[in-house]
C-alpha cells in the first residue's frame, strides 16, 4: 500500500448532510434484509405467507398512524416524500378540477412542492406563492390575504429543508379550517425529529419519507386525517383524492402496485426508534448546534447565519460567508473529508443561487456564498471542532485567492 493510500484511509470523515439523507440504523437494516430475503411474499396474496406479509405491513401502518394521531387507514405508503407531495397536490387539484380550484404554497417550498405547483399552474390551475420574511417565515396575515373563494388547498412545509426554520403550522391549520380549506404539510424534514399531532395541528394531509429518519430510501407515506376531510368511510378515500397511478386496489386505491414490504417494515421500525429517542436526539443536537453556530460566527469573520437562530430545527446550520462561493467551500471541505451541501440535494445540479435564500431577500452573490451543514445523532463535539477548524482554513484560502479583505 502506498503512502497516499494510507493517508486516504486515515483521513477523518465527518458527515454533515443529514438533511439530504441519513444512514440506515443497524436494527432497521436488519429488519429490511430479513424481509427482503426470508419474508418476501406479496401482501396481496391470499396464502398464509402473503397474509403474514400483510400483517407486517399493517403493523407499520399502525405505528406511523399512532405517531401522528390519525386512523391507520389514513396512511398511504408511497415510494418517497416527493411522490407523497405530488399525490397530495395533484390528487386534490385534479379531483376538484371542475371547481377551478386555487392552490396556495410558499415561495420556499421544497422542489417537490414548488415544481409541482409550477406544473399545475402550467396545466391551467390557479396558484399563489406566499412570500416569506427575511428569516423564512410565512406571515399569517399575508397568507390570509391570498385566500380566494375558490381556494381549495394550502400547502406549507413544516420545516424548511435548507434553513431549518419552523413554520407556524398550528396557526396555518386553524386558518385553513376556518375557511374550509384543505391543509397539506410537507413534513419530510420534521417527522421523526419533533412530535407531530395531525389532529391538534389541524393538518389534513402530511408527507413523510423514510430516509430522513434513519430508515431506507424508496419509501414514504401520504398521511390523511380523514376525520377532518370527509365523513365517509375510509374505503372511500379516493372520493376526494385523484390517484396519479391506475392499476390494482392497493393503498385504498390511491397508490396501486405491489407494496415495498421490506422498506415499509423498516420504516415502521425507524419510526419506533425515533419515537423512543426523540428527546435524547433533540437535546444532543441542540447543544451541538448552539456550539457550532457560536464557533463559526465568533471565529470566522464576515460569517452569518441564514434563518432564525431559535425557531429552527435543532440539526440545521446554514451559513453564508462574504467573499466566497459556497460550492468552492464545499469542495475544499470535501477534500478534508467533510460532507456538506449548498442547499437542497434535489437541486444540487443547478447552477442558480438557492431560490430559498433569494426569497429571504439575499442577493444572488450572498445566496451563492452559503452552505448547509446538518447534524445527525452520530455527530460529535469533536466533529464540530474539526469542521470549524477546516472551515477557517478553507475560507482564508478562498478569500486570499479572490483578494477579499
Please check whether the domain covering 3-24+277-401 is classified as CATH 3.40.50.1370: no
- Is the per-residue pLDDT at 151 higher than 90? yes
pLDDT of residue 227: 67
pLDDT of residue 7: 47
Choice among 130-134, 233-237, 370-374, 389-393 with the minimum mean pLDDT: 233-237
Mean per-residue pLDDT over the chain, rounded: 91
Choice among 43-52, 156-165, 294-303, 306-315 with the minimum mean pLDDT: 43-52
- Is the per-residue pLDDT at 233 higher than 90? no
More confident residue, 352 or 35: 35
Confidence at 244, pLDDT banded by 50, 70, 90? confident
- Is the per-residue pLDDT at 49 higher than 50? yes
Mean predicted confidence (pLDDT) in 81-88: 97
Query: 3-class DSSP state for residue 308?
Result: coil
- Is the per-residue pLDDT at 10 higher than 60? no
Share of the chain above pLDDT 90, in %: 80
- Is the per-residue pLDDT at 226 higher than 80? no
The answer to whether residue 346 is catalytic is yes
Query: 3-class DSSP state for residue 101?
Result: coil
- Is the per-residue pLDDT at 103 higher than 50? yes
Mean predicted confidence (pLDDT) in 70-87: 95
pLDDT of residue 405: 65
Strand ranges, E, within 147-200: 151-155, 182-186
Give the contacts of 311 (CB within 8 A, at least 6 positions apart).
135, 137, 165, 166
Mean predicted confidence (pLDDT) in 301-323: 96
Radius of gyration of the chain (CA): 22
Choice among 50-54, 202-206, 259-263 with the minimum mean pLDDT: 50-54
Q: What is the pTM of this model?
A: 0.93
Confidence at 231, pLDDT banded by 50, 70, 90? very low
Choice among 2-11, 59-68, 113-122, 225-234 with the minimum mean pLDDT: 2-11
C-alpha cell at 195: 412530535
Give the contacts of 174 (CB within 8 A, at least 6 positions apart).
202
Domain 26-270, architecture per CATH: 3-Layer(aba) Sandwich (3.40)
pLDDT of residue 213: 97
Q: What angle do CA 182, 185, 188 make, to 5 degrees?
A: 155
Q: Considering the chain, tell me which residue range(s) the CATH 3.40.640.10 domain(s) occupy.
A: 26-270
- Kindly name the residue from 147, 278, 305, 346 that is annotated as catalytic: 346
225 φ/ψ angles, rounded to the nearest 5 degrees: -90, 80
C-alpha cell at 170: 398550528
Choice among 201-215, 247-261, 274-288, 382-396 with the minimum mean pLDDT: 247-261
Share of the chain above pLDDT 70, in %: 92
Q: Considering the chain, tell me which residue range(s) the CATH 3.90.1150.10 domain(s) occupy.
A: 3-24+277-401
- Is the per-residue pLDDT at 197 higher than 60? yes
* DSSP H or E segment with residue 55: helix 48-68
Mean predicted confidence (pLDDT) in 187-207: 97
User: Is the backbone of residue 96 left (phi > 0), alpha (psi -120 to 50) or beta?
Assistant: alpha
Q: Are 57 and 265 in contact (CB under 8 A)?
A: yes
Confidence at 94, pLDDT banded by 50, 70, 90? very high
> CB under 8 Å, gap of 24 or more: what pairs does 242-251 form?
242/90, 242/91, 242/92, 242/94, 242/95, 243/87, 243/91, 244/83, 244/86, 244/87, 244/90, 244/91, 248/44, 250/44, 251/76, 251/77
More confident residue, 250 or 280: 280
Amino acid at each position: 500500500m502506498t503512502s497516499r493510500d494510507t493517508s486516504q484511509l486515515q483521513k477523518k470523515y465527518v458527515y454533515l448532510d443529514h438533511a439530504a439523507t441519513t444512514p440506515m440504523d443497524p436494527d432497521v437494516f436488519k429488519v429490511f434484509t430479513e424481509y427482503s430475503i426470508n419474508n418476501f411474499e406479496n401482501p396481496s396474496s391470499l396464502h398464509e405467507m402473503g397474509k403474514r406479509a400483510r400483517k407486517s405491513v399493517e403493523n407499520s401502518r399502525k405505528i406511523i398512524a399512532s405517531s401522528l394521531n390519525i386512523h391507520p387507514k389514513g396512511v398511504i405508503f408511497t415510494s418517497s416524500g416527493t411522490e407523497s407531495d405530488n399525490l397530495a397536490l395533484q390528487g386534490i387539484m385534479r379531483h376538484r378540477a371542475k371547481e377551478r380550484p386555487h392552490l396556495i404554497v410558499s415561495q420556499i417550498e421544497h422542489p417537490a412542492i414548488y415544481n409541482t405547483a409550477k406544473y399545475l399552474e402550467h396545466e391551467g390551475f390557479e396558484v399563489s406563492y406566499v412570500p416569506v420574511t427575511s428569516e423564512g417565515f410565512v406571515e399569517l396575515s399575508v397568507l390570509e390575504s391570498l385566500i380566494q373563494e375558490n381556494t381549495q388547498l394550502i400547502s406549507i412545509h413544516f420545516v424548511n429543508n435548507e434553513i431549518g426554520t419552523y413554520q407556524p403550522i398550528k396557526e396555518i391549520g386553524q386558518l385553513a379550517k376556518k375557511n374550509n380549506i384543505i391543509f397539506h404539510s410537507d413534513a419530510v424534514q420534521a417527522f421523526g425529529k419533533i412530535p407531530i399531532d395531525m389532529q391538534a395541528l389541524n393538518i389534513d394531509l402530511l408527507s413523510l419519507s423514510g430516509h430522513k429518519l434513519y430508515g431506507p430510501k424508496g419509501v414514504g407515506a401520504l398521511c390523511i386525517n380523514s376525520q377532518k376531510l370527509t365523513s365517509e368511510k375510509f374505503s372511500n378515500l379516493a372520493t376526494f383524492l385523484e390517484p396519479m397511478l391506475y392499476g390494482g386496489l392497493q393503498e385504498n386505491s390511491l397508490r396501486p402496485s405491489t407494496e415495498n414490504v421490506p422498506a415499509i417494515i423498516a420504516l415502521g421500525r425507524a419510526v419506533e426508534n425515533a419515537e423512543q429517542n426523540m428527546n435524547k436526539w433533540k437535546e444532543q443536537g441542540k447543544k451541538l448546534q448552539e456550539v457550532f453556530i457560536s464557533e463559526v460566527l465568533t471565529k470566522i469573520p464576515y460569517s452569518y447565519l441564514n434563518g432564525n437562530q431559535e425557531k429552527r430545527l435543532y440539526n440545521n446550520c446554514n451559513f453564508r460567508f462574504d467573499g466566497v462561493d459556497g460550492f468552492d467551500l464545499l469542495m475544499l471541505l470535501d477534500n478534508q473529508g467533510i460532507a456538506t451541501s449548498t442547499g437542497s440535494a434535489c437541486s444540487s445540479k443547478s447552477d442558480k443561487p438557492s431560490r430559498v435564500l433569494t426569497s429571504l431577500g439575499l442577493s444572488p452573490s450572498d445566496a451563492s456564498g452559503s452552505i448547509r451543514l446538518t447534524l445527525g445523532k452520530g455527530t460529535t463535539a469533536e466533529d464540530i471542532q474539526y469542521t470549524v477548524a477546516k472551515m477557517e482554513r478553507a475560507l482564508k484560502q478562498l478569500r486570499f485567492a479572490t483578494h477579499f479583505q
